[in-house]
């Protein structure tokens, strides 16, 4: 979003949601193996019940997981706020912190 957070729609009865209830520190990993590009994001995850945001994020394909659609009582949002980001630097053969990344600049 504009504040630098990632949002995910989920069913509240999943292992990942239970894990976030215990430990809010999460990791997101992105990869493009063909180009040897990898990004690791360390973040803080908040569980949210926000109908307006859910409407904004909703895709009809989500009914595969949430049979009740937007009105499903198990619908929950995960707001993931980035704390640190690193990428694979192929020339160095290791992960390096993203240059210019400033978590304080993210709402």
Q: What is the pTM of this model?
A: 0.81
Tokens read off for 94:
């290791």
35-46 residue pLDDT tens? 778 888 899 999
Separation CA 57–CA 7 (nearest Å): 8
Dump pLDDT digits (tens) for 48-71.
Answer: 999 999 999 999 999 999 999 999
Alpha-helical runs (H) found in 1-107: 15-22, 51-57
């Amino acid at each position: 979003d504009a504040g630098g957070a990632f949002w995910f729609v989920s069913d509240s009865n999943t292992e990942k949601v239970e894990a976030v209830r215990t430990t809010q520190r999460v990791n997101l990993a992105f990869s493009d193996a063909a180009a040897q590009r990898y990004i690791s994001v360390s973040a803080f995850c908040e569980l949210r019940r926000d109908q307006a945001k859910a409407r904004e994020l909703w895709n009809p394909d989500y009914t595969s997981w949430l049979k009740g659609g937007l009105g499903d009582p198990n619908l929950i949002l995960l707001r993931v706020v980035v704390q640190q980001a690193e990428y694979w630097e192929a020339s160095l053969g290791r992960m390096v912190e993203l240059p210019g990344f400033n978590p304080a600049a993210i709402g």
